[in-house]
Amino acid sequence: MSTVDVISHNAEAWDLHVKNAWQWTVPVSHEEIEAARAGLFSILLTAKKPVPREWFPEELAGLKILCLASGGGQQAPILAAAGADVTVFDNSLAQLTQDRLVSQRENLPLKIVRGDMRDLSAFADSAFDLVFCPVSVTYVPEVQPVFDEAYRVLRKGGSFLFGATNPFVYIFNGPDWDQNRFTVSNHLPFCSLDELSPEEVSRVLQNKETIQYSHTLESLIGGQTAAGFAITGFYEDVDDDLICQYSAKYFATRAVK
């Protein structure tokens, strides 16, 4: 498949996730918005561990934040309720609809823009004070343009908060993984279509299942420093997968321009 096809396919796959009410597509509650308005908020870059409060400026009022590939009515409304000037950018129309619903329900002035996270040409240089990018680069084939563009749209001294899947999980055979068996069979970097037969690829495309890319630690961490960032914070996180009894599955970084 071409890159354009993958991006379009994954947008439709996420639209289907919204229809099926997957956990990362369910908007935050009114109670969470009210807490954020009172200065109390918890927000995720990865699966379970909240982003440390000190990764954000002490005062969010008026802070210009880009929630990058972060639709779903979750992070962007929370940050807007906490006082920030928030733009949410995502490739899934249905995910952006979730943000629009929360914006209307809670009278939050969210800016909503659709697009490919590798191309932020809709925004000027140095337009934002903070870019917030939860686990999402796994759905694009190239990650360096994401970091380069995030760097460009940040002002000097601005922060880039980034979450990712640890690439090691992609070395395991997918069908065996689904049966809680960890069989090493894949090389990194990896695309989730690589281990499939032509018939299985057709099923993925027909059923609008996401196409995923592992990238590498070098591209996910070194790519940020290559863009010009200085990494100033790091943590790991888990979810409920059996693999997390052995190792953390996600990581998050804080980087500064």
Residue with tokens 């040409």: 121
SS3 5: helix
Average pLDDT of span 23-39: 97
- pLDDT category at 5 given cuts 50, 70, 90 is confident
Give residue 4's pLDDT. Answer: 46
For 139-170, how does the pLDDT look when each residue is reduced to its tens digit (9 = 90+)?
999 999 999 999 999 999 999 999 999 999 99
Indicate if the alpha-carbon torsion angle 51, 54, 58, 64 is positive or negative: negative
For 64-76, how does the pLDDT look when each residue is reduced to its tens digit (9 = 90+)?
999 999 999 999 9
Give residue 219's pLDDT. Answer: 98
User: 3-167+216-256: CATH homologous superfamily?
Assistant: Vaccinia Virus protein VP39 (3.40.50.150)
For 222-256, how does the pLDDT look when each residue is reduced to its tens digit (9 = 90+)?
999 999 999 999 999 999 999 999 999 999 999 99
Residue with tokens 């943000």: 99
Residues β-bridged to residue 142: none
Q: Where are the domains of the chain?
A: 3-167+216-256
For 97-134, how does the pLDDT look when each residue is reduced to its tens digit (9 = 90+)?
999 999 999 999 999 999 999 999 999 999 999 999 99
Residues 100 and 72: their CA atoms lie apart, in Å, by: 9
Mean pLDDT computed over every residue of the chain:
96
**For residue 135, what are the CA distances in angstroms to 24, 59, 212?**
10, 25, 12
Torsions phi, psi of 191, nearest 5? -115, 140
Strand 64-68 relative to strand 128-133, pairing:
parallel
Query: Which pair of structure tokens corresponds to residue 155?
Result: 């002002």
Residues 145 and 219: their CA atoms lie apart, in Å, by: 11
With 80 as the cut, is the pLDDT of residue 3 above it? no
Closest by CA position to 102, among listed 21, 40, 33: 33
Entry field: residues in the chain: 257
**For residue 252, what are the CA distances in angstroms to 160, 164, 213, 234?**
10, 6, 17, 6
Residues 35 and 211: their CA atoms lie apart, in Å, by: 36
Q: DSSP for 101-115? A: HHHHHHT---EEEE-
**With contact defined as beta carbons under 8 Å apart, do 128 and 153 qualify?**
yes
Query: Which pair of structure tokens corresponds to residue 182?
Result: 């960890």
Burial of 166 (0-12, 13-18, 19+ CB in 10 A): middle
Residues 62 and 80: their CA atoms lie apart, in Å, by: 9
Average pLDDT of span 217-221: 98
